[in-house]
């Protein structure tokens, strides 16, 4: 189970302010300075460096899997937009991708991204646009079958305009969901990042019709000031099996 960094600290009168302050350098925007200061003071960023993960996002998938248990030994996992690779790193031991536990089935992890990703032991990486017409067939060919889990931590490039960014990421998640419909095994799981904002009704309806359980979750490691949340949709019904989710929860 994951533990929230900094939960054991103390605060109060007389305690020194240990936050790192960053001065705005000449030519650097204030927003960049604030982002840098937040990164330097983020306990999850610091913990990721200590634990050898490629980013703080690793703890988000950890917390989601601790709660819902979709990364099982032997599972075949596809991580869309996998760069820099933190989610893949977390999945490796959980699905036993390296076969280190000889008493459990060996899983497979396929990482897909537009850009080249540094190798990750236990992960098969492919430079691919998942929106291309033949992407689903290529992925199924590489896996030798269908996937048990499709992950997406993708986010569209920020425009700085929140309503526009919300629409962009919802469209991206809907595309990832359509891809998942093509590659998921019956009973499979889809996990994706979204931004709360009120335009995801169509996506939520698609999830409810095609999965038996749909959870909308904000894990502890997600920044409190961020509008991001994650959908965890379990029990894929298959494309020919419509219906309504037996359970939909907001957490």
Q: Rounded mean pLDDT of 14-38?
A: 46
Please state, in angstroms and rounded to a whole number, the distance separating the CA atoms of residues 192 and 78: 12
> How many domains does one find in the chain?
2
Q: Is 112 found in the same domain as 32?
A: no
Q: Is 59 found in the same domain as 43?
A: no
User: Which CATH number is 79's domain given?
Assistant: 3.40.50.150
Please state, in angstroms and rounded to a whole number, the distance separating the CA atoms of residues 77 and 153: 14
Q: Is 166 found in the same domain as 211?
A: yes
Q: Is 47 found in the same domain as 162?
A: no
Task: Determine, yes or no, domain membership for 17.
Answer: no
- How confident is the model over 160-176, as pLDDT tens digits? 777 777 788 888 999 99
Please check if 148 is assigned to a binding site: no
Q: Is 44 found in the same domain as 105?
A: no
Give residue 198's pLDDT.
Answer: 61
pTM: 0.80
Range of the domain at 100: 55-250
Q: Is 116 found in the same domain as 41?
A: no
| Mean pLDDT over the full length of the chain | 83
Q: Is 172 found in the same domain as 146?
A: yes
pLDDT exceeds 70 at position 3: no
Please check if 129 is assigned to a binding site: yes
Q: Is 33 found in the same domain as 59?
A: no
Please check if 12 is assigned to a binding site: no
Active site residue 103: no
Q: Between residues 117 and 15, which one has the greater pLDDT?
A: 117
Q: Rounded mean pLDDT of 23-35?
A: 48
Among 1-10, 74-83, 155-164, 214-223, where is mean pLDDT lowest? 1-10
DSSP notation for 127-190: E--TTSTTHHHHHHHHHTS-EEEEEE---PPP-S-HHHHHHHHHHHHHHHHHHHHHHEEEEEEE
Q: Is 102 found in the same domain as 40?
A: no
Task: Determine, yes or no, domain membership for 7.
Answer: no
Q: Is 160 found in the same domain as 46?
A: no
Q: Which one of 23, 67, 140, 193 is the catalytic residue?
A: 193
């Amino acid at each position: 189970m994951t533990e929230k960094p900094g939960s054991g600290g103390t605060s109060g009168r007389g305690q020194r302010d240990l936050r790192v302050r960053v001065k705005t350098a000449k030519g650097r925007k204030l927003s960049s300075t604030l982002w840098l200061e937040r990164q330097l003071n983020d306990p999850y960023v610091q913990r990721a460096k200590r634990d050898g993960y490629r980013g703080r996002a690793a703890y988000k998938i950890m917390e989601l899997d601790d709660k819902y248990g979709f990364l099982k030994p032997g599972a075949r996992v596809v991580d869309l937009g996998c760069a820099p690779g933190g989610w893949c790193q977390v999945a490796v031991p959980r699905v036993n991708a390296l076969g280190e536990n000889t008493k459990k089935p060996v899983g497979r992890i396929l990482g897909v991204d537009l850009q080249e990703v540094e190798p990750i032991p236990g992960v098969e990486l492919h430079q691919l646009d998942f929106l291309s017409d033949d992407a689903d067939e290529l992925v199924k060919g590489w896996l030798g079958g269908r996937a048990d889990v499709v992950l997406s931590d993708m986010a569209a490039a920020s425009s700085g305009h929140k309503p526009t960014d919300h629409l962009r990421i919802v469209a991206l998640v809907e595309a990832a969901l359509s891809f998942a419909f093509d590659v998921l095994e019956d009973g499979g799981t889809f996990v994706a990042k979204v931004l709360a904002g009120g335009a995801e009704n169509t996506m939520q309806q698609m999830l409810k019709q095609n999965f038996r359980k749909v959870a909308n979750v904000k894990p502890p490691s997600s920044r409190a000031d961020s509008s991001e949340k994650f959908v965890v949709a379990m029990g894929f019904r298959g494309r020919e099996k419509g219906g309504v989710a037996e359970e939909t929860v907001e957490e």
